[in-house]
Amino acid sequence: MKKSINYFLVLAFIGLMSVAAEANILPNGDFEADPPDQFWNSGTGGNGVVDFSYNDGYLRTDAASDHADIISDKFSASATTYNYSFEYSVDNFSSDDLAGLFQLRFFDSSGSFLGEEDVDLADTGSSTITASGSASAPAGTSSADIRVSLGVFNDFTGDLIIDNILIEADLWIITQPEGVLANEGDDVSFTAEAGSASGDTPSYQWYKSADSTIGGEDDQLLTGETAATLAISDVTSADTGFYYCEAAVNSSTITTNAAFLSFGDLVAHWSMDEADVAGSDPNYYSDLTGNGHSANIEQSVPVNFVDGVVTGDQDIENLKPNGAVEIDHLAGTANARTFDPAAESGEWSVSLWLNWNDTGLDSGYNNLWSKRDGWGFDSMQYMVHVYDEWDGAVIMETSGGGWIGTGGSAITPGQWHHLVITYDSSQRAEIWLDSELEAENDNYVMGTKSDSTFWVARNDSTAEWFDGAIDDFKVFNYSLSDKDIYDLYYDETGFRRCLEEQRPEADQNGDCVVDFVDFSLLAEEWLNDGNYTPQAF
């Protein structure tokens, strides 16, 4: 690939590599970080070269024969107007080439594109020039990024050097408050930080809201809460809600996002008992939490109720008449509309009991539940299924995203199993079967469609339904702990698990109980003397 850079141009850039203004909102806009590609990544188009290592301290793209673009990580964009400037040099290899392109792009809180500011990068020959301007963020903007493109949107063929990209505003949010899942009695806090182009320290004022909408009529100004950190001690249910902060410098004000404070809780519960089905035909599985997340039952075929395992008597053999649903094609399948248990917390867990028939689906995908409207990263979050072709492996997967699964034959056909899948705010996913951790993934990436349909016993494909029975479907808005999972399993089986941190030191036979058996084992060693007896030398 042809490379064309004049040495005096490189020297000119070395002289210009001053530290960008302290007010720069863009991380590593001067490419001085080590490595220089921190907060930047190759774009979505082209196969050219984006070269951060050519000379530390600036970005160079070489698109002599191919196309290339580069995109910054998204940064918080809470201001209404942004000023930008950058230094660049473009060397076209053909006189009829179009310009390169610099873009400041804006997105809403879900990551959807809202608009952009475009700057054509015309041929500068051997000169380095500075471009500057301002852009208004569209309403609803939550984040922004920078995209530099050569040839992805045009027929450019040449080289580009760019440096000292500066994005600033009169006032902007540096740190957004983060949502908190708490227990009653906890001490919690929210922190916000704003920056200003003047360098003056902003003042702060906190508000409480019943929902995530900012500026509602019922929003409550929290008198005296004027520090960057809002502390709430001994949390009660009256403290739950949303909190946001307004920052001000001189005549400029800006508001953070609203952050939730809620208790980790069971947010939907479908018992799958015939007694808890409501409506006509029947119409839906009732949500026993009272949160209104009923699951609408497929109406084209009748529901087949069978004996369920969940009775709460710690006896797995004692079944409950008509306490579970046998899924057969669409019979018994349901959807809870766009229910998203992780909407506030970024976490969720599902607990259910299943009994797989293993009669062999044409698709092989025995879907237990899913959040999807199609098989694509932007049309789903995930789906969970028992996979026929792996003889009963439990798998959660996302198209173009995460994957986690147990080994084959994890599910025994014709036997009730307790399944729990957890997902936390760090993107850690776990699969538990019968209170044993079977699979884990520390970086499970869910799809982006948070408003996709929550399907029970199927997904959007009518050919991918669960071949078996389901009982006691519970959904939580937080990641269950190992002890939570042990408790759920104990409720139905009476099985008590030994926790190593609680194992008695005198336990001799490994049953986690000190009793007469352990005493007998100790007695077998009674008066045994392990001291060395010296021999005549």
Chain segment 134-163, per-residue pLDDT in tens: 999 998 888 899 988 766 655 556 677 788
> Do both 201 and 325 map to the same domain?
no
Report if residue 508 sits inside a domain: no
92 compared with 372, residue with greater pLDDT: 372
Report if residue 371 sits inside a domain: yes
The domain spanning residue 79 has which CATH number?
Answer: 2.60.120.260
Neighbouring C-alpha atoms within 13 Å toward the C-beta of 461: 18
> Do both 270 and 248 map to the same domain?
no
Can you give the pLDDT at residue 190? 97
Report if residue 279 sits inside a domain: yes
> Do both 221 and 309 map to the same domain?
no
Retrieve residue 311's tokens: 């009775």
Q: How far is CA 151 from the centre of its chain?
A: 33
Element (H, E) at 15: helix 7-16
How many Å apart are CA 136 and CA 116, to the nearest integer? Answer: 9
pLDDT at 12 over 50: no
459 compared with 497, residue with greater pLDDT: 459
What are the angstrom distances between the C-alpha of 433 and each of 51, 370, 395, 526? Answer: 47, 18, 12, 42
Report if residue 7 sits inside a domain: no
Closest among 286, 282, 318 to 301, alpha carbons compared: 282
Report if residue 524 sits inside a domain: no
> Do both 55 and 165 map to the same domain?
yes
Domain boundary among 115, 142, 169: 169
Average pLDDT of the residues in 21-41: 76
Can you give the pLDDT at residue 156? 58
Report if residue 195 sits inside a domain: yes
- pLDDT per position as a tens digit, 41-81: 765 555 454 555 444 456 665 554 556 678 898 888 878 88
Helix, strand, or coil here: 492?
Answer: helix
> Do both 270 and 221 map to the same domain?
no
Can you give the pLDDT at residue 437? 97
- β-bridge pairing 304-308 and 320-327: antiparallel
Per-residue pLDDT band at 98 (split at 50, 70, 90): low
CB count, 10 Å around CB of 386? Answer: 28
Element (H, E) at 237: none
Strands (E), 265-328: 266-270, 277-278, 284-285, 295-297, 304-308, 320-327
How many Å apart are CA 378 and CA 506, to the nearest integer? Answer: 56
How many Å apart are CA 65 and CA 60, to the nearest integer? Answer: 15
Compute φ and ψ for 58, nearest 5 degrees.
-155, 170
> Do both 309 and 279 map to the same domain?
yes
In terms of Cβ atoms closer than 10 Å to its own Cβ (0-12, 13-18, 19+), residue 357 is: middle
505 compared with 446, residue with greater pLDDT: 446
The domain spanning residue 245 has which CATH number?
Answer: 2.60.40.10
Position 231: which residue type? A
Domain holding 216, by residue range, is 172-263
> Do both 188 and 278 map to the same domain?
no
Domain boundary among 244, 263, 282: 263
Report if residue 21 sits inside a domain: no
User: In terms of pTM, does the model score above 0.75?
Assistant: no
pLDDT at 197 over 90: no
Can you give the pLDDT at residue 16? 30
- β-bridge pairing 295-297 and 416-423: unpaired
Yes or no: say if 151 and 46 are a contact pair by the CB < 8 Å rule: yes
Can you give the pLDDT at residue 357? 93
> Do both 253 and 344 map to the same domain?
no
Count of structural domains, the chain: 3
Yes or no: say if 464 and 332 are a contact pair by the CB < 8 Å rule: no
- Lowest model confidence (mean pLDDT) among 18-22, 75-79, 443-447: 18-22
Residue 400: left (phi > 0), alpha (psi -120 to 50), or beta?
Answer: left
Yes or no: say if 434 and 363 are a contact pair by the CB < 8 Å rule: no
Yes or no: say if 275 and 285 are a contact pair by the CB < 8 Å rule: no
> Do both 426 and 458 map to the same domain?
yes
Average pLDDT, the chain: 85
Per-residue pLDDT band at 420 (split at 50, 70, 90): very high
Retrieve residue 110's tokens: 């879900």
- pLDDT per position as a tens digit, 182-194: 989 999 999 999 9
**With b meaning 16 or more CB within 10 Å and e meaning fewer, what string describes 255-270?**
bbbbbbbbbbebbbbb
Domain boundary among 263, 280, 296: 263
> Do both 455 and 325 map to the same domain?
yes
Rg of the chain over Cα atoms, rounded to whole angstroms, equals 30
- Lowest model confidence (mean pLDDT) among 21-35, 107-121, 411-425, 450-464: 21-35
> Do both 275 and 397 map to the same domain?
yes
How many Å apart are CA 158 and CA 373, to the nearest integer? Answer: 43
Q: Transcribe 152-184 into DSSP letters.
A: SSS---EEEEEEEEEEE-SEEEEE----EEE-T
135 compared with 211, residue with greater pLDDT: 135
Element (H, E) at 485: helix 482-493
Yes or no: say if 206 and 248 are a contact pair by the CB < 8 Å rule: no
The domain spanning residue 481 has which CATH number?
Answer: 2.60.120.200
> Do both 357 and 276 map to the same domain?
yes
Can you give the pLDDT at residue 396? 98
Closest among 199, 158, 171 to 80, alpha carbons compared: 171
How many Å apart are CA 252 and CA 478, to the nearest integer? Answer: 38
CB count, 10 Å around CB of 98? Answer: 17
Report if residue 17 sits inside a domain: no
